[in-house]
């Protein structure tokens, strides 16, 4: 992973200059337990290549999939992912949480 979110934003600019279609996903809100803070970024290109992190695991995969739709349509999306406290406990987490991620095309 890149060292800072500013490195990820710089990568998004570089990818655009190279002619790649790009989307940027940003954590805009969290509740409870969240692996990445508000402001964390993930940049995705039209091939599904990505840098950075907004969460991890299956959430990251879902964000990449949604970002490909955003690249194609040009329409931004607000995504929300969560785990209930009861479910979290069953999979070994101390508590649940929710994150909201905004995905937009970089022009």
**Average pLDDT in the chain:** 85
The boundaries of the domain holding residue 56 are 5-106
Number of domains in the chain: 1
Contact by Cβ (8 Å): 63, 42: yes
pTM as predicted: 0.84
Q: How far is CA 52 from CA 57, 84, 88, in A?
A: 13, 25, 24
What does the alpha-carbon distance between residue 60 and residue 69 come to, in Å, rounded to a whole number? 15
Alpha helices, H only, 57-100: 57-73, 85-90
Strand partners, 13: none
Contact by Cβ (8 Å): 68, 49: no
What does the alpha-carbon distance between residue 26 and residue 76 come to, in Å, rounded to a whole number? 11
Tens of pLDDT, residue by residue over 69-92, are 999 999 999 999 876 655 444 444
What does the alpha-carbon distance between residue 83 and residue 73 come to, in Å, rounded to a whole number? 29
Tens of pLDDT, residue by residue over 32-48, are 777 889 999 999 999 99
């Amino acid at each position: 992973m890149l060292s800072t979110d500013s490195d990820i934003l710089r990568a998004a600019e570089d990818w655009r200059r190279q002619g790649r279609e790009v989307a940027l996903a940003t954590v805009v809100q969290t509740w409870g337990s969240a692996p990445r803070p508000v402001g964390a970024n993930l940049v995705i290109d039209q091939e599904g290549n990505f840098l950075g992190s907004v969460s991890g695991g299956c959430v990251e995969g879902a964000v990449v999939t949604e970002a490909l739709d955003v690249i194609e349509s040009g329409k931004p999306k607000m995504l929300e992912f969560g785990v209930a406290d009861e479910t979290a406990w069953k999979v070994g987490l101390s508590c649940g949480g929710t994150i909201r991620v905004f995905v937009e095309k970089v022009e």
